[in-house]
Structure 1
Amino acid sequence: MSEHKIWSKEDLFKEISSYMNEQHVGIVKKAYEFASICHKDQFRQSGEPYIVHPIQVASILATLKMDPETVSAGLLHDVVEDTGAELSDIAELFGNDIELIVDGVTKLGKIKYKSNQEQLAENHRKLLLAMCKDIRVMIVKLADRLHNMRTLKHLKPEKQRRISNETLEIYAPLADRLGIGTIKWELEDISLRYLNPQQYYRIVHLMNSKRDERVSYINEAVKEVNQQVKQMGLKNVEVYGRPKHLYSVYHKMVIKKKQFEQIYDLLAVRCIVDSIKDCYAVLGAIHTKWSPMPGRFKDYIAMPKANMYQSLHTTVVGPGGRPLEVQIRTKEMHQIAEYGVAAHWAYKEGATDEVKESSDNNRLNWFKRIIELQEDTDSASDFMDGVKGDLFGDHVYAFTPQGDVLELPKGAGPLDMAYLIHTDIGNHTVGSRVNGKIEPLDYQIKTGDIVEIMTSSSSAGPSQDWISLVSTSRAKHKIRQYFKTRDREKNVNAGREILTKAVKDAGYDVNEIMTKEHLEDAIKGTYYNQVNDMFAEIGFGNKQPNGIVNILTASIRDEAEKKRIEQQQKDILENHQTIEKPTDDVNKTNKNKKPSDGIVIEGVDNLLVRLSHCCSPVPGDEVVGYITKGRGVSVHRKDCPNINDNDERLVSVTWNIASDNHASFSANIEVQGYNRNNLLNDVIKKVSTICKQINSIEGKVDHDKTAVISLKVGVRNLEQLDMIIDHLKNIPDVYVVKRPFM
């Protein structure tokens, strides 16, 4: 991945001064001063001052030409979450608009009884609902996420994968929905780099392998298109080759099972013209010059995408008989394709809020669906599942008999469409007619279908098997809601019985736990307004009782855990003498080898200590001790998969290494890369420049030509090991460098 420019505050001020007036530049400068004071003495995991991050976020927003409120919010987006500043301070100093944006981007505090997954879903829901009030909330969040992705290399691998997966599931689709292509493409490419490095670097290698040949081909195609356009007398037509993004290639190769050679739009030309009339004129010129490939023409001008994207796409048999994709659009369409809704919020001096709102909300009516999903779901997790499935997946476009266009997730059927139109229409559906022909309710709608929903006022209502016939969260919820309302009293009684049994099965006193006060306290951590609502959900089968039992018994379990830990510490101190002490011979061996001399066990002396081979900890690693039977204490890295955090035999240990200690600690390194000539030689050279002790080295080649090189090296500490790993990552064609677990 290419390195990105690190913007200074001077770069930022210069950029905004190029398009803002002096008063608005002053607002941004004031925001910078406040943020720099709030973040003083704070540092990121990369080691750089924290204020660097807000400056980069604001700079991304400035390159999008965002208004002063948005750029200022970019500078202030972390002050409430990570410093002592309050939202009231933001409102007082910068006004309600900036306060609203900062509040929307700020994560929720930890919610009692919520798992990490539920907490994450809550934060996403808050962000999406805030976006519906002001689209700038999401634009700031996307800029924040983009810079965090650019600096992801400073985090641990498991966190890199979690954040990358979240980015692909939530933030890249949101950027796509908002039409901000420049951010979407980069988020996808960086996510792929961390989630599937083998495929990422394989595609890089494939794209680089014949780059000169492709560039030559594109240059020839551009020249011929320009000649055709010139003959037609069209002016101000910009023609150029466009790069293909890595994730797009990956998606077609892996998801759509295509070979690299079958991806036609690797070779693509873009034409930017003045008017819609010129778009179709250039299309005619290109189809006159080259034969269009059947089924490869898309008119997004006549039928724009939901994210406002407009363009003509055609694939033709180009020079030399090779497929060539051509995109044709106006300058305004190109701005929207690159910057999407951000183009509408771009700084326009004197523009009113009303103008901005009309340009956004009329064209992004899918916001209404987010509000509807919020109303249709009972938990944040269900809400986010609905957003991912209904709004971020592949879609089809169907027509009503009146000619209205409805967007539906791919796989949706007539019932999904009925409930999208109105709940009453869904509940009274008796059949459907597609393109004039009666179709069953499990029919899957295709783009271009004209779908008529047949209803009857005497309909008996939904049946239970409808749940399996619908695919949207909205339709599923509406059907379940119908049965919950109809059978509420029965569900309440069943839910009370189920929860009572679960409490009893867990070994607790029902009379102590199932009190009115206890139950009312329990629903404070949920979205239920009444205890009977909770019972009804359990009785209906929408809520498992175990989670409620955990909430009801939390204080009892906390007290028991506290006593267990106190007893464990007491047992270790009283009984450590029963663990085998090191003999004189062992002591001599240890003194010669040195590694275990650097470990101190909290509250205990004179125990046999050894460093575990499965994770090979070195000084600087966070470590934990494990009491073994007859073999003393085994020291592991805290992230070692062989360690169970709840194991009673874990003890606290720390490193105690003298600064002048030059002992060598064994560490394992795994290098994955493209199996080219001299790769092994380059790896050995890099390691040898930093570390003089290579204890062993092995290599193998996988079926996809990925070389896997395993090394065991001797290092003084984690700092030296990290230096080796960083140097290895810079070797050409190396995909991954990591410390493996044995």
Structure 2
Amino acid sequence: MDVNKLKEKAASYLPPEQVEMIEQAYFMAEEAHRGQLRKSGDPYITHPVAVADILLDLQMDGYTVAASLLHDVVEDTPITLEQVQTKFGPEVAMLVDGVTKLRRIKYKSKEEQQAENHRKMFVAMAKDIRVILIKLADRLHNMRTLKYHPPEKQRQKAEETLEIFAPLAHRLGISTIKWELEDTALRYLNPQQYYRIVHLMNKKRTEREAYIQEVIATLKTQLKEINIENADVSGRPKHIYSIYKKMKSQHKEFNEIYDLLAIRIIVNDVRECYAALGLVHTHWKPMPGRFKDYIAMPKSNMYQSLHTTVIGPNGEPLEVQIRTKEMHKTAEYGIAAHWAYKEGKVVSKESLSDKLSWFREILDWQQDYGDAQEFMENLKTDLFSDVVFVFTPKGDVVELPAHSVPLDFAYRIHSEVGNRCIGAKINGKIEPLDTELKTGDIVEVLTSKHSYGPSKDWLKIAKSSHARNKIRQWFKREKREENIRRGREEIENELRKLNLDPHRFMTDEALLEVSTKYHFNQVDDMIAAVGYSGISALQIVNRLTEKFRKEQAIEEKALPETKPPVKKHFDQGVRVKGIDNLLVRFSRCCNPVPGDEIIGYITRGRGVSIHQVDCPNIQDEQDKERLIAVEWESEESNQTYHVDLEIRGSDRKGLLNEILTIVTDSKTNIQAVSGRADKNGTAVIEMTVAIYNKDHLQKVVDKIKRTKDIYAVRRVMS
């Protein structure tokens, strides 16, 4: 195709200035690639022209078509991205950059380079979807000309196409490209099966065509009888790859596949879709479980249609698809249909944001993966899998990757719902967290604000990368907080060894000054570094006490007789603010421990009852005037406090013994323990432990959570 044919096709729907831009892009590409040849021996310019032609068939905007003509110039010619931007503007330059491979960086292996190229493409695609449309058109033409490459290259390109590009075309709803990519890839990966299926299909072609014509004639007559005019009824043969996949997954021979073709009915509006469905079901008996309503519940790639399978003429199964003209356009061209020009202007990116919400997550994900290959594996697992549709108790639809479990559902609702999850109800019945969800399930997540967050086993249970990333983020954040807590303790302990008061030396100003000297951005970064042994607590203490030690040395010279150091005495118990000598007692409903936020409740004749601030009994109390402010005299104590824990996990032999050993090894007394297992295989262990303070409790919980097969640990409030 020469530039004149490109211009002619573009002029059929694009404004003159964009047609002119496409022509100028052609001239730049033609000059840049002059002298370069394809493997076929054709001039290289034939490739970008073919890519542009595919995009013009999708009716893409002029910027995308111009970028497609230039998509290889930065990578394969002396022309720079800056030159492209100067001549065609930032929009075209951004699209060209998005599809340009990373060749100037050295990688350990070819696989690593390929993964990084894909990561770059997906990140660019998340910013502007047109990047991947150019890439899909580029891959489609490369697959059409794959025969000129050596067998090893053919196989590698075909595998990559089936793993990444065909599923991506499916996710974007561009079935015209998806089917051709899949069929062409199969031809190179399994030519024997490909040509066998082609041969078998050709053998029965005449017989099938006569059968389809009979069905079409019947339907057209009956549609007119119910006043559905201008309906387009046609036969659609199954694609070779879909037949191959069905034979392989269902272990069937070709003659056992009945739905080799389908009837497609295209009508004017949604009302006529359901009317046509009623007619089909009235005339032929529907097969149970084979009806799908993708109009009421569209697929994630915006596909809408009614699917039903009936026992047609001759007693053979017949698949029927019913949709409107607009739905058909979206089914064929997917997201590209929403970029196509309508009355002279392209649909805005903002109007597509809801349809591409899953895409925006790509940007979030890629920041969590230093390894591009790990990023691609997670991407393939989540984006390119089949989906299930489940419901919230309020009836909202949630789309999840196939094989998802309640944890995936919980994190899809909100990350905090996932972090606080302690169980789930599926269709009103409590089920284990690793139960596989099916389309139509109603899922209710059971949460507790006293849950101690995810367990390590959740990373094995969750199936979606969305959920696994949220769990990883929690551990990353939690580990930091744990390191900060441990670091602060170590600094305080070093100060106490020197008989110094931590509160005096660990002021915000002093810590900030020391963190600056050690080149930390924040005080917490320095304290966390102590926690994970990046820097010693003694180094920090030496800096904190530097001035004090100098002053002390001067005093010692002036006054040889110094007073012996006084050890700090740590008070115990709770103090009622502003009142002395009041009887206090700890409530058994919430069992507060030092470190909890607490409040007092004035009882009749029994002094002040101490509760946690969020204790349900306090929240429900009507007489708020009897509440009184209280505080811990110290969070350091030799006194122990009873805390009730509920531990949930997968029931297995020895689980209870393991937990008892872990708690005992942490030098924690167990006051009471009981356990049971339900019929779903979930073990529930209830334990009362003697705790010194909240930090002690956290350490015990962390150790329990690291135990294999433990799902959730929560503090029980009665």
- Write the mapping of 1:312-351 to structure 2, written as runs, cut at 5 A: 312-351=306-345
Structure 2 residue aligned with 1:468, among 437, 460, 463? 460
Partner of residue 248, structure 1: 242
TM alignment of 1:458-497, pairs within 5 A: 458-487=450-479
Task: Give the aligned partner of residue 239 of structure 1.
Answer: 233
Corresponding residue for residue 447 of structure 2: 455
Q: Take 1:344 and 1:114, find their aligned partners in 2: how far apart are those partners? A: 40
Deviations 1:664-683 (A, max 9, x none): xxxxxxxxxxxxxxxxxxxx
Whether the 8 Å CA contact 2:365–2:469 is kept in 1: the answer is: no
Q: How high is the TM-score relative to the length of structure 1?
A: 0.64
Whole-angstrom CA distance in 1 between matches of 2:449 and 2:483? 27
Q: How does 1:283-298 map to 2 (within 5 A)?
A: 283-298=277-292
| 1:133 maps to amino acid | K
Matched with 2:62 is 68
Residue matched to 2:81: 87
Pick aligned residue for 1:221 from 215, 235, 254: 215
Is 1:274 aligned with 2:229?
A: no
Measured after TM superposition, the shift of residue 480 of structure 1 is: 3.8
- Residue 140 of structure 1 is matched in structure 2 by 134
In structure 1, what is the Cα distance between the partners aligned to 2:271 and 2:13?
A: 31
SS at match of 2:360: helix
| Counterpart secondary structure, 2:444 | strand
Of 428, 440, 443, which residue of structure 1 is paired with 2:435? 443
Letter of the aligned partner of 1:36 in structure 2? E
Specify which of 355, 365, 382 is matched with residue 373 of structure 1: 365
Change (3 A) 1:376 1:475: farther
CA distance in 2, matches of 1:224, 1:109: 59
Q: CA deviation at 1:207?
A: 0.8
Separation in 2, partners of 1:279, 1:490: 59
SS at match of 1:389: helix
CA distance in structure 1 between the partners assigned to 2:380 and 2:65 by the alignment: 28
Residue 116 (structure 2) pairs with residue 122 (structure 1): yes
Unaligned runs of 5+ in 1: 1-6, 493-528, 537-742
Cα deviation, residue 485, structure 1: 4.6
Quick check: 1:34 aligned with 2:36? no
Deviations 1:574-605 (Å, cap 9, x if unpaired)?
Answer: xxxxxxxxxxxxxxxxxxxxxxxxxxxxxxxx
- Listed one character per residue, the Cα deviations across residues 502-558 of structure 1 (whole Å, up to 9, x for unaligned) are xxxxxxxxxxxxxxxxxxxxxxxxxxx99x99x99xxxxxxxxxxxxxxxxxxxxxx
- Aligned residue identity for 1:370: I
Q: Counterpart amino acid of 2:287?
A: M
C-alpha distance in 2, partners of 1:350/1:96? 22
Shift of the alpha carbon at 1:436? 1.3
Say whether residues 1:258 and 2:239 are aligned partners. no
The whole-number CA distance in structure 2 between the counterparts of 1:132 and 1:428 is: 30
> Aligned pair in 2 of structure 1 residues 491, 456: CA closer, same or farther (>3 Å)?
closer
Partner of 1:423: 415
* TM-score, normalised by the number of residues in structure 2: 0.66
1:411 aligns with 2:419: no
Q: Does 1:432 align with 2:429?
A: no
Deviation at 1:268, TM superposition (A): 1.3
Aligned AA for 2:428?
Answer: G
Instruction: State which of 343, 364, 376 in structure 2 corresponds to 1:384.
Output: 376
Cα distance in structure 1, aligned partners of 2:425 and 2:109: 45
CA distance in 2, matches of 1:133, 1:373: 14
The answer to whether the aligner puts 1:310 opposite 2:308 as a matched pair is: no
- The alignment status of 1:21 with 2:15, answered yes or no, reads yes
Deviation at 1:364, TM superposition (A): 2.2
Going from structure 1 to structure 2, the CA distance change for 1:484 and 1:341 (only over 3 Å counts) comes to closer
Q: d(CA) in 1 for partners of 2:249 and 2:9?
A: 40
Q: How many residues align?
A: 491
Q: Which residue of 1 aligns with 2:390?
A: 398
Which structure has the bigger radius of gyration?
2
Alignment of 1:77-116 (within 5 A): 77-116=71-110
For the residue of structure 1 that corresponds to 2:463, the secondary structure is coil
Q: Distance in 2 between matches of 1:366 and 1:467?
A: 21
Sort the Cα spacing of 1:23 and 1:110 in 2 relative to 1 into closer, same or farther, 3 A: closer
Asked if 2 retains the 8 angstrom alpha-carbon contact of 1:267 and 1:323, the reply is no
Give distance in 2, aligned partners of 1:227 and 1:325.
Answer: 19
Q: Please give the alpha-carbon distance, in whole angstroms, between the structure 2 residues aligned to 1:20 and 1:487.
A: 55
Q: Which residue of 1 aligns with 2:169?
A: 175
The answer to whether the 8 Å contact 1:377/1:477 transfers is no
Measured after TM superposition, the shift of residue 225 of structure 1 is: 0.6
Aligned pairs for 1:438-587 (under 5 A) are 438-487=430-479
**1:638-665 deviations in whole A, cap 9, x for unaligned?**
xxxxxxxxxxxxxxxxxxxxxxxxxxxx
Secondary structure, counterpart of 1:107 in structure 2: coil
Q: 1:49 to 1:342 in 2, by over 3 A?
A: same
CA distance in 1, matches of 2:126, 2:469: 22
CA distance in 2, matches of 1:150, 1:294: 40
| Alpha-carbon spacing, 1:491–1:378, altered in 2? closer, same or farther (3 Å) | farther
1:449-497: CA deviation from partner (whole Å, max 9, x where unpaired): 11111111111222222222122223333334444554569999xxxxx
What letter corresponds to residue 230 of structure 2 in structure 1? N
Following the alignment from structure 2 to structure 1, what is the Cα–Cα distance between the partners of residues 483 and 211?
68
Could you tell me how far apart the structure 1 residues matched to 2:354 and 2:411 are? 22
Partner of 1:626: none
Cross-structure match for 2:586? none
Contact 1:62-1:71 at 8 Å conserved across structures: yes
User: Is the CA contact 2:3–2:23 (under 8 Å) kept in the aligned structure 1?
Assistant: no
Q: Say what the alpha-carbon RMSD is for the aligned residues.
A: 2.3
